[in-house]
A and B are shown apart, each in its own frame.
Chain A
Amino acid sequence: MADQDSKTTERETPSSAGSPRQIEAPLRGARLRNLATQWEILLVYLLLVVVIGNSLLSPYFLNAPNLLDSTFNFMEKAIMALPMMLVIICGDIDISVASNLALTSVFMGMAATAGAPTPVLVVIGLAAGSILGWFNGFLITRFAIPSIAVTIGTLSLYRGIASVILGDHAYTGYPKPFAFFGQGYIPATHIPFELVLFAALAAVTGFLLHKTTFGRKVYAIGNNPTTARFSGVKVDRLRLIAFTLNGLAAGIASVLLTSRVASTRPNIATGWELDVITTVVLGGVAITGGKGTIWGVVLSVFLLGFMQFGMGLVNIPGQVMNIATGFILIIAIMVPELIRRARNRASLARLAARG
């Protein structure tokens, strides 16, 4: 598969380059870290450019209540981006998340129509999302099939089951208290609940990734699954956990989105996998796995979110915005590759000069 493809070629380079590389390894680690922080600094600058640009374009942008309210539009995707980080750092990918969200929303709609109260709906949402995510992970790890192949199948399967159940109608009969999750504010403030939930989940993800052995193992798997396994990391179990968490996040996002739009329609969240994956990759997470920080992804969430909000303010239609998102995705991967190539060339030249 694609991602493995590039990984094998990458893995191949150090062995063919021989020992000089290994001597330089600690130095190279420092440089890579350097590159990562540079990427985040670049994101901060870009965020500033977007904020200033939007403020110039529209007088309504730079206004605390408006800015806080604008986050409603991208917090569901932001929450889905957090465990997607884990999946991509592991060297996998999940393009079925939007279909998972849709099917989960359909299950909640069925329950709501049957008269289920709000807490039950939330439990159904989280459980269904997790199970669908687990199923991806199960097929991928049990049969050793590339994640892209499995999630292309479940992208179609989950969305298909959703549309079979939904037919050409929509679920709209959600109980009143259910509206809080996607529309509510923290009492006595103008801070959306979704935003606070994202902040909390981002903190948890950051802690898991950067401060626990679980996180270190995730990076180890992404860098080299075989080495990780020989070092005692239960590779397949961790990947299964990553996919299940990814499903859980789709479930959470489904609760929030269903609550926000107060309905389940056949086209709910179509194409969101692009936005979620773009957020993660723009945040500096290497698509080949093994690299990325929570700060990058959080910055990327607000960068993309405010950019789309700004385009909305000047009435650019959604599908045209997708042109921008698509280009950003490609450029976000192209730039580090070009930087890496330039560095390789420079270090080769240095080696050649040294003789």
Chain B
Amino acid sequence: MMGLLKRRETSLLVIILVVVAAVTFRAHDFLSPGNFEYILKDSSILVIVSIGQLLVILTGGIDLSVASTIGFTGMSVALLNKADPGIPLVIIVLISMVIGLALGSFNGMLVSVFNIPPIITTLGTLSIYRGFVIVLSGGTWVSADQMSAPFRDFPQGYLLGISNMISIAILISLVFAAFLYLTRTGREVYGAGGSPIAAQYVGINVKKINFLVFALSGILSGLAGYLWVAFYASAANDSATGLELQTIAACVVGGVSIMGGSGSIVGVLLGSIFLGIVKNALTVIRISPFWQVAIQGFVILLAIVVNTVLDRRAQASMLKRRVL
């Protein structure tokens, strides 16, 4: 199984290299350090939110409310910064994560305490949280000149030559890789999704895990909420709409099983970067950006079908080997 996963991630890496080579052939400055850094920077938010999505999908759930959570936390901290520019950035970031935690915990409570299927819960909260954005903002938006300089400049900053956006994405990836692979709770996330009933019998508190993954997804979306409004230097009522589909695409393209139980951080990283490259390539080779959503849908379907077929084949060959 590990071999198969590894193979799938290598094949994705090969596909990425082929796409990059093809696009570079058409537009030579695609691979310039500046453009490549821009792609990574632009993918950072997707990476952070997709890791939250990964946790939820690993348990067999789905979180459709991530984009609305970004919209709400982003608007909240932007308004807060506008009201009092003196609040230190650390506090702003903490507040955005706490708001995200609250929204994510509400999802988690509905799923684990009231047994409402994740798809229904988050379809509902997708609309609820987005509605909250309008209520909060009164329909207005916060523009760049209404934000304080440290608030707006952080995503453009560098530390040790690395963009702050990229550093944060790497840091989050490392923290969650350590959580998933090295901690007992992390292994339980895989267990809970692989077979919920078996997990219950071996003593995994599935309800607790279900709550936890939504809460963590909320925290990551909250962090992304601040990064979004600061990076794009505006907090609009429709910030990040549709990003939930991109996070799901990043996961399934990265080989995460939509049925739960299998998937890796490396896969999600590659999946997010793949989507970022496709998005950037469309602009570079001058194809209408309207293609982005269609390609994303196509890529989601293709990845799901391929994953399913590969999984089946792997299972079948495992069974055969046992019989022989």
Query: Which of A's residues lie within 8 Å of B, judged by CB?
Result: 1-3, 5-6, 8-9, 12, 93, 95, 139, 143-146, 148-150, 152-161, 163-164, 166-167, 271, 273-274, 277-278, 281, 287-288, 317, 319-323, 325-327, 329-330, 333-334, 337-338
Besides the known contacts A139-B301, A143-B308, A153-B298, 14 further A-B residue pairs in the complex with CB atoms under 8 A apart: A2-B62, A145-B308, A152-B245, A153-B297, A154-B301, A163-B290, A167-B288, A167-B290, A320-B134, A322-B130, A323-B135, A325-B127, A329-B120, A333-B114
**Residue of B134, B248, B308 touching A152 (CB-CB under 8 A):** B248
Instruction: Determine whether the beta carbon of A145 is less than 8 Å from that of B305.
Output: yes
* Secondary structure dominating the interface of A: helix
Bound CA span A322–B245, Å: 20
Complex contacts, A163 vs chain B, CB 8 Å: 290, 293-294
Q: Is B249 positioned at the interface, with any CB of A under 8 Å from its CB?
A: yes
Instruction: Determine whether the beta carbon of B293 is less than 8 Å from that of A160.
Output: yes
Closest to A334 in B: B114
**Given A5-B60, A330-B121: A160 touches B116 (CB 8 Å cut-off):** no
Task: Pick 11 A–B contacts, CB within 8 A, sort by A.
Answer: A2-B118, A2-B119, A148-B62, A149-B252, A160-B295, A271-B127, A319-B127, A323-B132, A326-B124, A327-B124, A334-B116
Bound CA span A337–B120, Å: 14
Instruction: Determine whether the beta carbon of B116 is less than 8 Å from that of A337.
Output: yes
Please list the 5 inter-chain residue pairs (A to B) with the smallest Cβ-Cβ separation, ordered nearest first.
A160-B294, A157-B297, A156-B297, A160-B293, A323-B131
Complex contacts, A288 vs chain B, CB 8 Å: 117
Instruction: Determine whether the beta carbon of A281 is less than 8 Å from that of B294.
Output: no
Q: Is B191 positioned at the interface, with any CB of A under 8 Å from its CB?
A: no
Bound CA span A319–B115, Å: 27
Instruction: Determine whether the beta carbon of A156 is less than 8 Å from that of B127.
Output: no
Complex contacts, B128 vs chain A, CB 8 Å: 322-323, 326-327
**Residue of A1, A6, A9, A95 touching B258 (CB-CB under 8 A):** A1
- How far does the Cβ of A333 sit from chain B's closest Cβ, in whole Å? 5
Instruction: Determine whether the beta carbon of A139 is less than 8 Å from that of B114.
Output: no
- Residue tally, chain B, CB below 8 Å to A: 50
Complex contacts, A148 vs chain B, CB 8 Å: 62, 119, 258
**Residue of B61, B305, B309 touching A2 (CB-CB under 8 A):** B61
Query: Which of B's residues lie within 8 Å of A, judged by CB?
Result: 60-62, 110, 114-121, 123-128, 130-132, 134-135, 139, 196-197, 237, 245, 248-249, 252, 258-260, 288, 290-298, 300-301, 304-305, 308-309
Bound CA span A161–B290, Å: 8
Bound CA span A237–B135, Å: 46
Instruction: Determine whether the beta carbon of B117 is less than 8 Å from that of A3.
Output: yes
Instruction: Determine whether the beta carbon of A156 is less than 8 Å from that of B119.
Output: no
Complex contacts, A325 vs chain B, CB 8 Å: 127
Complex contacts, B127 vs chain A, CB 8 Å: 271, 274, 319, 322-323, 325-326
Instruction: Determine whether the beta carbon of B117 is less than 8 Å from that of A287.
Output: yes
Closest to A159 in B: B293
Instruction: Determine whether the beta carbon of A143 is less than 8 Å from that of B305.
Output: yes
Bound CA span A321–B290, Å: 29
Complex contacts, A166 vs chain B, CB 8 Å: 290
Instruction: Determine whether the beta carbon of B304 is less than 8 Å from that of A329.
Output: no
**Residue of A143, A144, A146, A287 touching B120 (CB-CB under 8 A):** A287
Interface centre among B114, B115, B237, B249 (most CB of A within 10 A): B115
**Given A163-B290, A325-B127: A330 touches B297 (CB 8 Å cut-off):** no
- How far does the Cβ of A214 sit from chain B's closest Cβ, in whole Å? 26
**Residue of A8, A161, A281, A321 touching B196 (CB-CB under 8 A):** A8
Instruction: Determine whether the beta carbon of A320 is less than 8 Å from that of B110.
Output: no
Complex contacts, A150 vs chain B, CB 8 Å: 301, 304
Complex contacts, A1 vs chain B, CB 8 Å: 60, 62, 119, 258-260
Instruction: Determine whether the beta carbon of B296 is less than 8 Å from that of A329.
Output: no
Closest to B114 in A: A334
Complex contacts, B309 vs chain A, CB 8 Å: 143
- How far does the Cβ of A12 sit from chain B's closest Cβ, in whole Å? 6
Complex contacts, B196 vs chain A, CB 8 Å: 5, 8-9
- How far does the Cβ of A339 sit from chain B's closest Cβ, in whole Å? 12
- How far does the Cβ of B236 sit from chain A's closest Cβ, in whole Å? 13
Instruction: Determine whether the beta carbon of A153 is less than 8 Å from that of B304.
Output: yes
- How far does the Cβ of B194 sit from chain A's closest Cβ, in whole Å? 12
**Given A6-B117, A152-B248, A337-B116: A160 touches B124 (CB 8 Å cut-off):** no
Closest to A95 in B: B123
Complex contacts, A326 vs chain B, CB 8 Å: 123-128, 131
Instruction: Determine whether the beta carbon of B290 is less than 8 Å from that of A317.
Output: no
**Given A156-B296, A320-B135: A330 touches B197 (CB 8 Å cut-off):** no
**Residue of A156, A330, A338 touching B245 (CB-CB under 8 A):** A156
Complex contacts, B297 vs chain A, CB 8 Å: 153-161
Complex contacts, B249 vs chain A, CB 8 Å: 156
Bound CA span A221–B247, Å: 32
Bound CA span A154–B249, Å: 12
Closest to B195 in A: A8
- How far does the Cβ of B188 sit from chain A's closest Cβ, in whole Å? 16
Complex contacts, A3 vs chain B, CB 8 Å: 117, 119
Complex contacts, B110 vs chain A, CB 8 Å: 330, 334
- How far does the Cβ of A105 sit from chain B's closest Cβ, in whole Å? 16
Closest to B132 in A: A323
Bound CA span A161–B296, Å: 11
- How far does the Cβ of A85 sit from chain B's closest Cβ, in whole Å? 15
Instruction: Determine whether the beta carbon of B119 is less than 8 Å from that of A93.
Output: yes
Bound CA span A159–B119, Å: 20
**Given A2-B117, A9-B196, A12-B197: A164 touches B294 (CB 8 Å cut-off):** yes
